[in-house]
Amino acid sequence: MLSDGPKRLKKTWEELVTAASTETDPEKLAMTMEEIFAALEERERTRSLSQNPSGF
């Protein structure tokens, strides 16, 4: 049975780093690293927008 609660599709960068630390498959590790970089870039964008709402 599926939960009616909100679904979180993206993992946090912390969760991704934890997963990467135990990954032994080089291809999976590379994919996880790309996800980590994307998550950190998104975090930085979010922080920049909250500090400077005008976007400049």
Alpha helices in 1-56 (DSSP H): 13-22, 26-51
- pLDDT at residue number 48: 86
- pLDDT at residue number 11: 87
- pLDDT at residue number 1: 45
For the chain, list residues with pLDDT below 70.
Answer: 1-8, 52-56
